[in-house]
Amino acid sequence: MKFPLMRNNILREDLDAVIRHLQQDDPILTHSANVRAFEEEWSQWIGKKYSVFVNSGASANLLTMAILKLRYPEGGEVIVPPLTWVSDIASVLQNGFTPVFVDIDPRTLAMNGAKVIERLNKNTRAVFLTHAQGFDGLTDELLAVLEQRGIPLIEDVCESHGATHGGRKVGSFGWISNFSYYYAHHMSTIEGGMICTDDEEVYQQARMLRSHGMVREANSEKVRNDYRTANPELNPDFIFAFPAFNVRNTEVGGILGRSQLRRLDQNVARRTENLLQFLSGIDPRRYRTDYKTEGSSNYAFNLVLKEPDMRFVASLMGKMRDAGVEFRRGSAGGGNQLRQPYLKGIVKDGYYREFPETEHIHFYGFYIGNFPDLKAAEVAELCGILNAA
């Protein structure tokens, strides 16, 4: 591909840092000091007290919903977008909650805040909001209503590292926030994810849930002592508080994360410059250009047709393939999740039709790679290809 989705996301300096570690006589490779250091450095960067490094963004979603389940064992409703990655909705289902869907705002691709407020009720356990494609998905009104009603906000920031709302990083607003470090994201640990929170109880539970539910994984002496006192017949090194998971990351992931974090702000700034050039360069008669770019940390170029036109979609995809432009149709997660087989029998047939903004993205939306070493001349060439389609 001449224009791939990602290029050079793991640099020589990152690999050299890993190699230096491996050149030790007996390097520790499992979860250890570099994982802990990365968690501390990430917490400082995002502006949260606690971070827990896991093996993927999907695992961060899973553990977050498991923590919510500890508070609401009877279940309840979690508000989610139909335009998101599968693991957001899957984690809701896997933990026995009922997903309630809200259509998106076309300017941010995140859930429409006013419509979220309309769907809140006594059974709402959380709002699980995805900051899609690098855009800030929050509104002041939504934040105020959730705080007033005591409903937790969970932020999925997997595609939006460094995006801001009112000058403050997204991911620092929610009760819990989730991040992904997959290869094509703003920074990469190959596979990896992070759970962030200011809630110490959540932090201790996330540490235990990450590692089989083992109490010894809590770094609170009080938590460990409480379980030991309540279970005197058990070996204190092998007390399992929850029927949990093994989603730990490794020292290699921690080293890569620490190396990449040092240039994340610079990369976010460069991606944003690319986005603004892209939006000013594509034909506004054919493509949407009215996005909420304030606070964006663009993940990928959004290419959305202004009007439904399947003939033009076919022509556009052919032109992009011929020109070596890698793309994903449907934007985040392949479009409308309500059309996916895993939701059959969970939502009513044809329910996807009640989400027109997401449906438009499903058929007439694409994303194209945006990455820090993409040159201005390449962005201009890409715009020319799209405008000539």
Task: Give the pLDDT score at 151.
Answer: 98
Position 6 in a domain: no
The CATH number for 116's domain is 3.40.640.10
Handedness of CA 318, 321, 325, 329 (dihedral sign): positive
Using the 3D structure, point to which of 261, 282, 300 is the last residue of a domain: 261
Range of the domain at 245: 12-261
HSE-up (13 A, CA, CB side) for residue 290: 5
Structure token pair of residue 341: 């087989």
In a domain, 116, yes or no: yes
Q: Are residues 31 and 122 in the same domain?
A: yes
- Provide, for the chain, the percentages of residues in helix, strand and coil under a 3-state DSSP scheme, each rounded to the nearest 5: 45, 15, 40
Q: What is the number of structural domains in the chain? A: 2
Same domain (yes/no): 303, 184:
no
Residue 196, strand partner residues: 51, 177
185-191 mean pLDDT: 95
Answer with the one of 224, 239, 261 that is the final residue of a domain.
Answer: 261
Tell me the one-letter amino acid at 35. Answer: V
Q: Which residue has the tokens 């409308």?
A: 336
- CATH number, domain containing residue 291: 3.90.1150.10
Same domain, residue pair 81 and 217: yes
pLDDT in tens, 72-114: 999 999 999 999 999 999 999 999 999 999 999 999 999 999 9
317 falls within a domain? yes
Q: Are both 306 and 339 inside the same structural domain?
A: yes
Is 198 contained in some domain? yes
Q: What's this model's pTM, rounded to 2 decimal places? A: 0.97
> Of 217, 240, 261, at which residue does a domain stop?
261
Same domain assignment for residues 283 and 242: no
Give the per-residue pLDDT at 184. Answer: 86
Residue showing tokens 């705080």: 147
The pLDDT tens digits of the residues spanning 48-64 come to 999 999 999 999 999 99
Q: Are residues 133 and 83 in the same domain?
A: yes
